Amino acid sequence: MDSMPLKKSSNLVLILDFGSQYTHLITRRIRNLSVLSLCVSGTSSLQSIVDLNPRVVILSGGPSSVHTPGGPSFPDGFLEYVRENGVFVLGICYGLHLIVQRLGGEVRVGDAQEYGKMEIVAEGDSGLFGKGGRQMVWMSHGDEAARLPQGFKVVARSQQGVVAAIENSEKRFYGLQYHPEVTHSPQGMETLKNFLFNVCGVTADWKMQDVVEEEIKVINETVGPEDHVICALSGGVDSTVAATLIHKAIGDRLHCVFVDNGLLRYQERERVMSTFESDLHLPVTCVDASDEFLSKLKGVVDPEVKRKIIGKEFISVFDEFSKGLEQKLGKKPQFLVQGTLYPDVIESCPPPGSGRTHSHTIKSHHNVGGLPQNMKLKLIEPLKLLFKDEVRRLGRILNVPDSFLKRHPFPGPGLAVRVLGDITEGNALEVLRQVDEIFIQSIKDAGLYDIIWQAFAVFLPIRSVGVQGDQRTHSHVVALRAVTSEDGMTADWYYFDHKFLDDVSRKICNSVRGVNRVVQDITSKPPSTIEWE
């Protein structure tokens, strides 16, 4: 089901994505202002834009130049549409260049390219800045606006004299040469507020309760009154909230499946099933398919191949469960529910129309890019346009226990992407389970679990020389990873106290046979991803 869990609104802010690494942040920042925002491909058709009926359109930044042959642009007829329908348009970086070029101005390669923090001076009496003044912003551009289209005026310049902001209030076109959505532009949110509320007259009327109501409506319109639905429960926040939402919509026609794929954490199966039964009261069947998964993964080292094998095997399990359910009910289930989130869709480089046409694939998620083409069950992904923190807010509305909602994210492929290399070699999975349990329990004991976005251990495909019990050892190396984040799209590594790290390292080396070296991953995202594979 290609659902959109966002209630239609006369205040919709539509972002046309031209490939900027920050585009998702624009969506998030606007939603944080209680305004409905949706991101679609910059190459979406005019009709698809018209159907969404936006009040505001934001043209994102991107890696292209307006001088690049075949570079992305809004569709033919877009300028006429926004003019005739009173739509406000804001161009950011590349988006500003598009406005200037397409409305008759001139964009050229800048004499002074600007990257990173830069001071700008905003002039008074402008819709974007109000009283004006100086502020620090985050620049990232090589081209610059050399000549503005008729009717436009410059309302801010950089310290080097480059055009930093433009506007034409009569035609409702505005442009920013910098990125107001990033934290490196401290007053960026104020500028977005000025633009949305003071210039465009947008109302802050979007609430998470709207998502619940709209999605239940969409589910009931999609799933027939006699249809049954299977839900893939992983034990994580996403799939649990998705299952709770579907259960609220269709009741006992939902059949949840928890698959033990042999790639779970320490005692994960027992803990998760207990939570489902005692706290969430969801009907769940546990299927032990660990032998099937591990046998298919034997000898596989490429992480993308791992993800696709796991995605295919999950579907096979659900197909078999569906057959058994059909025999029991006398009716074949038609749908499969998954807790896919917006970051999953973004990172798996979805097809045109979903917002990332001009960016690169980072990795395939087992429940997005890893799914086979010939699926027998139709997908329902009620959370696919939501970020993690939004899913947690949704879960609270649905009365999912807060203790469960605060669980750290766990990847669908499980420990397969935390054991680098062949997961079936030696006792890698068991070693990793023990190390991970010590690390996570130590974090909980220190009162840090709710502060950290995600923490886990990684089994490295190397051995190191050590000394244990006065004997030379040649044992495994493990890495510890802990990050802070808002939504998983960007992250910074967590700064542990040295004593904490010392205690954890000692516990691991003294308790887990076969490990003699512990290292910490201190890389942010970007340049790294949160998971190692």
Residue of 24, 97, 141, 179 marked active site: 179
The Cα angle at residue 81 between residues 174 and 203, in degrees rounded to 5: 55
Parallel/antiparallel/unpaired status of strands 153-158 and 106-122: antiparallel
**C-beta of residue 86 within 8 angstroms of C-beta of residue 172:** yes
| Residue 259 bridge partners (DSSP) | 287
Give buried/exposed letters for 108-137 (b at 16+ CB in 10 A, else e).
Answer: eebeeebeeebebebbeebbbbeeeeebeb
Residue position matching structure tokens 């999912």: 400
**C-beta of residue 72 within 8 angstroms of C-beta of residue 43:** yes
Cα–Cα distances in angstroms (integers) from residue 288 to residues 254, 255, 269, 322, in the given order? 20, 16, 10, 15
Residue of 24, 39, 93, 215 marked active site: 93
Is position 179 annotated as part of the catalytic site? yes
Residue type, position 343, single letter:
P
Whole-angstrom Cα distance, residue 479 to residue 533? 13
Is position 93 annotated as part of the catalytic site? yes
Whole-angstrom Cα distance, residue 450 to residue 379? 32
DSSP characters over 271-294: HHHHHIIIII---EEEEE-HHHHH
Binding site for ATP, by residue number, is: 234-240
**C-beta of residue 382 within 8 angstroms of C-beta of residue 3:** yes
Is the torsion defined by CA of 110, 116, 119, 124 positive or negative? positive
DSSP characters over 250-266: HGGGEEEEEEE-S---T
Binding site, by residue number, is: 234-240
**C-beta of residue 243 within 8 angstroms of C-beta of residue 282:** yes
Residue position matching structure tokens 């070693």: 431
Residue of 114, 144, 167, 181 marked active site: 181
Catalogue the active-site residues: 93, 179, 181
